[in-house]
Amino acid sequence: MIENLIKRGPGQTVAFIPYPEVNLLAETMVAFANTDGGTILIGLDQQGEVVDYMMDEEVEGKLAQALVMCRPPVVTHWEQCELPGGIVVALKIARSPELHALADGRVLTRSGTKNTPLGGEAIRHLAATKSSGDFEGEPVAGATLVDLDKDVLDEYLANRAERGARPLKNMLQDHLVEIGAMLEDGTPTMAGMLLFGKTPQAFLPQSGVIFVKFLSTEARGRDGMAGYGRRVEIEGPLARIIERAWNLVTDEMRVEAVVTGLKREEVPEYPPFAVREAIVNAVCHRDYRLSGRRVEIRMYENRLEVISPGGLPGYITLDNIVDEHFSRNPRLVAGLFQWGYIEELGLGIDRMIEEMLERGHPAPDFEAKPYSFTVRLHNTLERTPVKRWASNMNERQMRAMSFVEEYGRITNRDYHQLCPDVNPETLRLDLVDLIEKGLLLKIGDKKGTYYILK
């Protein structure tokens, strides 16, 4: 398990800390507890090399000091791991149902490889989410181990092994308890039923997906009357739902034949990754406490909409959705990650936008309401496809690069017109970042400044 974490490297749920520095330990513990949980590997540098110098007493002492700095204290479990280069301490932190802060009042969350402090409004959003309780960890009334599907469990274990996870040391039931899919008495949790249940919808009717194919750009038939071309209700455990929904959308997508030189290529109506990511996100991050409504996939002549019950989770807003990460259902996310449906935690939105722009489509539309979140993919070609750049960029920066490709240059005023709702200082930092990445070159000074491709 530790070797697998080292191979993955630092990220949303893994941190490498070479020396047990108290402040950094406390910050990372609070950030993990407030977000998706994670593992701190003490004794590794950022390249994953072992720094063999630590004494047990020193690590325990520093950990005790760090825990005192966390308000309330963060629950941790730690163990020593002997690797070829020396000793590493693995400090495991679960996602907490409480809101944690440091002694100085800072509230941090984990975003990628960074511990990010939150502002007042974001803290209030996170506190509201925490107070809603741990729904996916609740027991499913009336369910027993018999209600879990052995074939689905076998498939999960096989895919988990393919991803390099360490074989189970104990019985399967112990593993299900460890990942939060089952209680000690054998009762499946909400997460366990959604991931592995034979018929999850018998216990959670809202956990299915509805697919509707409309024949025009509106939710009606071509004659103006109410109607649709196809309607399918999709049920089963989440992995089956994702696959069936994906296959259904794929069957209904138009395919265009594009000839480049002597090569003929079939190009689907929407980039496959963008569609799959929209479906996976809706299934993973919906609010399963909301009964009476299922995830909806609506396919129109000019767009694809994926509507997920429940507003944006935690401190996520439309302004920070590309840069920040928070999981409403971390056990479901972890399970589907082991299954292979999620490749990189927290990076899907970036790539969804990038794929749409590369195909020449507009960037996806995101609409957040108090009790729903919608992703819209448009199939209209509005611009020259953007080339794949070597460095990751946010959606604003992709717009800027597309603008420069089309017009040869961009000014601060141009950029502000492209992103009118974004703070000017944020836009300035975007351009500075593109310069540092070697993509843009700054010309002129003050009001005469503009930027061109380097």
Q: What is the DSSP string of 149-171?
A: -HHHHHHHHHHHHHTTPPPPSS-
- Provide the percentage of residues in the chain whose pLDDT is more than 90: 43
**What pLDDT digit, counting tens, does each position of 120-164 carry?**
888 988 887 776 668 898 999 999 999 999 999 999 999 888 887
Of 66 and 386, the structure prediction assigns the larger pLDDT to 66
**What pLDDT digit, counting tens, does each position of 265-294 carry?**
778 899 999 999 999 999 999 999 998 899
Closest CA relative to residue 107, chosen from 313, 331, 312, 314 = 314
Structure confidence at residue 1 (pLDDT): 66
Joined together, the tokens standing for residue 124 give 């209030």
Of 415 and 220, the structure prediction assigns the larger pLDDT to 415
Give the fold, CATH level 3, of 395-453. Arc Repressor Mutant, subunit A (1.10.10)
| CATH 3.30.565.60 segments of the chain | 206-378
- For residues 120 and 171, is the Cβ–Cβ distance under 8 A? no
Q: What are the backbone dihedrals phi and psi of residue 35, each rounded to the nearest 5 degrees, phi first?
A: -115, -110
Of 415 and 2, the structure prediction assigns the larger pLDDT to 415
Structure confidence at residue 436 (pLDDT): 84
**Across 94-98, average pLDDT:** 88
- pLDDT tier at 318, thresholds 50, 70, 90: confident
Closest CA relative to residue 278, chosen from 363, 375, 193 = 375
| CATH 3.30.950.30 segments of the chain | 2-119
- pLDDT tier at 390, thresholds 50, 70, 90: very low
| CATH 1.10.10.10 segments of the chain | 395-453
Closest CA relative to residue 201, chosen from 74, 100, 291, 87 = 291
Superfamily of domain 2-119: Schlafen, AAA domain (3.30.950.30)
Spatial neighbors of 440 by CB under 8 A, at least 6 apart, are 401, 404, 431, 434, 451, 452, 453, 454
- pLDDT tier at 251, thresholds 50, 70, 90: very high
For β-strands 76-83 and 70-71, DSSP reports them as unpaired
Structure confidence at residue 255 (pLDDT): 84
- CATH of segment(s) 206-378: 3.30.565.60
Structure confidence at residue 262 (pLDDT): 60
Structure confidence at residue 345 (pLDDT): 57
